[in-house]
A and B are shown apart, each in its own frame.
Chain A
Amino acid sequence: MDILKKSVLELRELLDKGEISSREIVQAYIDRIEKTEPKLNSFVTLTFEEALKDADRADEMIRNKTHTTLTGIPIALKDNISTYHVKTTCSSKMLENYRPPFDATVVELIKQAGMPILGKTNMDEFAMGSSTETSYFGPTKNPWNLEYVPGGSSGGSAASVAAKQAPLALGTDTGGSIRQPAAFTGIVGIKPTYGLVSRYGVVPFASSLDQVGPFARTVAESAALLSLIAQYDKYDSTSLNNPRPDYLRSLEKDVKGLRVGVPKEFFIDGLDAEVEQAVRKAVKALEDQGAEIVDIELPHSDKALATYYIVATAECSSNLARFDGVRFGHRSENTKDSVTMFKHTRAEGFGPEVKRRIMLGTYALSAGYYDAYYLKALKVRRLIKEDFDKAFTKVDVIITPTTPSTAFKFGEKVQDPIAMYLSDVFTTTANLAGIPALSMPAGLSSNNLPIGVQIIAPSLAEEVMLSTAYSIEKALGSIGLPELEV
């Protein structure tokens, strides 16, 4: 039996029947990581010893019948999610040796469910980037082709799932950081409704945009993980206190009569022809199953990227101010007084992309510029949300490409921030509007790289988003996983 090829739900059955143990599953993934990691660099920190202990505990839970859907299934966590006494670096020199004294709420949920944690995955520094090239620990490679980026910022999590280093992973998505790497690596990634998943313990990039979400090989597996982490949390004031369905149960709902919106603003010049073709094919698949396809407008979409880069950088300039060398993290040796300590600590601890965004955000919030930048961005943000509100009176879900193109090569965009930022052009709107969006594979390009299609749904309509994705997945079939030479 090739454990690595089994889906999470298949593993569940095998575990329940006693035909396999969590320890065996975890060991199989450890072996895979040890073999593939030198090529991929998906992880910053590996926690095998603890994972095996967790596996034994999970096996105990299964024997005692106190287990749930994901008990015994291993997972990888993006390295901006706080883990008790385990390094949480955000792929930054600033936090190279930082070990949080507490678990993020999502980590508590994972541990309670008995999911062994394999390690902490690589990312763009402080989640700022679209390729993992800004990581202090070096880039992660795309398992489909090692010359290409896996996307970012959750590139390590995406690559680990695509390369069968983990069956599931968690990432965070501020402007596309789950969906874009999911698209680039040919897996499913979900950015839930803002407030569905607790942000407590997740090192913030932009607080009003950040959400934690799952990576999985298939829609059903991603739904299972979403059900686990989508819990109300009284320690996150922005957590929504509404009933939470079991998302696995919502998949089978058929799409007959479903109104599917296709916004013309997402089919622009510069959209790769193969990407467009794949998305059209996914739309056609829904139409064939009885969905109604509606052309819609989201007129402020072209302002989303500019709006996003003001809101996100403004918030990050404040969120990242606490890295001052006083209480934790890196502190410069070159320190005369508190001011030089702040300056040198931050000059040494942050990489260039983080510094660029802190400066942009500081500028946008400065006296005399606030109204022209930040306040205006908030107004446009509202217009973008209203675009969606209006669209969702006519349609149930919206389908777009996840990214304008497939994965790009290392070094191709890292020297040109604007070109890099443009890879988020289709994903930032969902964050600005606070609504859920999912990326799933919709085919392969002629050079054998995955293409992602994005499904956007109204606030808290994860169920219809997932059932739509499930229908597309059934119709298009799997693109498979990359044949990684090891």
Chain B
Amino acid sequence: MPLEDYTIVIGLEVHAELATDSKLFCGCSTSFGSEANTQICPRCLGLPGTLPVLNKKAVEYAVRAGLALDCKINKFSKFDRKNYFYPDLSKAYQISQYDQPICEHGHVEFYVGGEKKVVGITRIHLEEEAGKSIHSGTSISDSDFSLEDYNRSGIPLIEIVSEPDIRSPEEARIYMETLRSILRYIGVSDCKMEEGSLRCDANISLMPKGATVFGTRTEIKNMNSFRAVQKALEYEAERHAKLLDSGEKIVQETRTWDDNLGITLSMRSKEEAHDYRYFPEPDLVPVILEDEFVTDIKNSLPELPAEKFRRYLEEFGLPEYDAELITADRDLAEYFEAVVAIYNKDYKAVSNWIMGEFMRLMNEQGIEVGEVKIKPEDFAAMLKLMDEGVISSKIAKVVFEEMFNTGKEPKTIVGEKGLVQISDSSAIEQIVADVIKDNPGPVAEYLGGKDKVLGFLVGQVMKLSKGKANPQMANEFLKKALAELSKNQ
């Protein structure tokens, strides 16, 4: 049967690196991109006899994430050792949380095609990163040697485990994007999938529509972008459906996503799965949270994207699309709010400019909101210049781009480049007269009843005025002049 006749069941395990200055159990820096093995010490190298000391900031960030995802914060949690051998794992065990994580039972809300979706959060736990293997070849199997960089070893992570509530690959992607948005809002992670500070493993299974028992699941790893999450799950869902249709069984296994080939490949079967031999970490004491600690964090949480979204609909009357797009990024939303705090005449106009030119230029130049040179007050000033008829909307785009590149005030740019709109009647009358003289063909067509030609003639006026003619006036004057012509015929 076709894929549409199956219910897809997906659960995600998302890893987010916490944006603390120092590592989870030692004082080493967590900054990204430094020379290999320059941010290490005996502790994160796992030298014998060294002991972990818990970074309080990381606990705070995990609690912050838990509160933002509506979790119950466990007043008592503890650390456990997850044992496995890998060259990048300096102690040959990862300090993680097994049966008593710091946060449990939360949920996250988002919209899929206008429909509200709620996904349960099973748990959030704190753990440490491993180092990074660098292979001499393209992969470990064709390498003569591998090198290890332990700069990443010990960076704090939270693992956010969802309930199997996700019902489509698209939902999975939007869930990830929503998590990123929330985690960035609350400042606990920069969530850069390309730098690996946000990663996810996905569990997926299929069952016939209406069934209540989940099918056999597979786990997919190595999806390095939001797009890849959706693509990999789409591929895997199709693969499951085909196998089930042909009467074959799904093998419970871990598979890896090959982004180039666009397929998933088997990594290891259930039988080959690791036995991590978890046991309580004897080198750490349990984490006991005081009520005040949790309350203080709760009080310091910013307005979250979902609340902001609702407020943008009510307070600014923005369409859902605009509100969702702008509130997805805290910096962008704060920028929007800074502009509308000064310019409150037309919220939708601000939204249009932000979603249009502002984001286009940001994407083109590959920069973030924080790096944009336009001050919110200059953004507002430019809109006012438009309202006052000093510049046309067309000129405004030129001015805006210049503001974006130079950070100059709009008035300065308009003055420097002589971009003031021509609103002088005699000047426009002269241009209109020239256009009518130079375009006898179209003029004749208009007079013959083809009203549409007017647009072309207005365009000619704008062209001749180098875009500076006030468009309303150009339109009006042109109509008037043509009416005169018609009368005189």
Contact = CB atoms under 8 A, between A and B. Distances in A.
A362 B86 contact: no
Contacts of A342: 85
B481 interface: no
B87 A324 contact: yes
A318 B83 contact: yes
B50 A326 contact: no
A322 B90 contact: yes
Interface in A85-133: 88, 90, 95, 98, 100-102, 104
A318 B46 contact: no
A207 B53 CA distance: 14
A327 B90 contact: yes
A214 interface: no
B42 A199 contact: no
Given A101-B42, A237-B53, A367 B275 contact: yes
Contacts of B86: 338
Interface string B452-464: 0000000000000
A236 B85 contact: no
B370 interface: no
B369 interface: no
Interface string B66-99: 0000000000000001010111001111000000
A307 to B, nearest CB: 15
Contacts of B418: none
Interface residues of B, number: 31
A272 B54 CA distance: 48
B398 interface: no
A149 B50 CA distance: 31
A238 B285 contact: yes
Which of B49, B146, B277 gathers the greatest number of chain A CB atoms within 10 Å? B49
A138 interface: no
A237 B278 CA distance: 20
A351 interface: no
A237 B51 contact: yes
A366 B279 contact: no
Interface of B: 42, 45-54, 81, 83, 85-87, 90-93, 140, 146, 148, 275, 277-279, 282-285
B47 A102 contact: yes
A374 B83 CA distance: 15
A200 B42 CA distance: 11
A318 B279 contact: yes
Contacts, number: 104
A326 B92 CA distance: 11
Interface residues of A, number: 44
B49 A200 contact: yes
Given A234-B53, A318-B277, A207 B283 contact: yes
A202 interface: yes
Is chain B's interface secondary structure helix, strand, loop, or mixed overall? loop
A208 B48 CA distance: 15
Given A338-B85, A366-B275, 14 more contacts: A82-B49, A90-B48, A100-B49, A204-B49, A208-B282, A237-B51, A237-B283, A318-B93, A321-B93, A322-B46, A338-B87, A342-B85, A365-B83, A365-B279
Contacts of A207: 282-283
Contact of A237 (B49, B81, B285): B285
B384 to A, nearest CB: 58
Given A338-B86, A365-B277, A366-B277, A237 B48 contact: no
Contacts of A234: 53
B46 A327 contact: yes
A106 to B, nearest CB: 11
Interface in A310-345: 314-315, 317-318, 321-324, 326-328, 338, 342
Nearest to A201: B49
Contact of A235 (B47, B51, B83): B51
Q: Which of A314, A365, A366 has the most CB of B within 10 A?
A: A365
A203 interface: yes
Contacts of A367: 275, 277
A236 B148 CA distance: 27
A95 B85 CA distance: 19
A102 to B, nearest CB: 5
Contacts of B83: 317-318, 321, 365
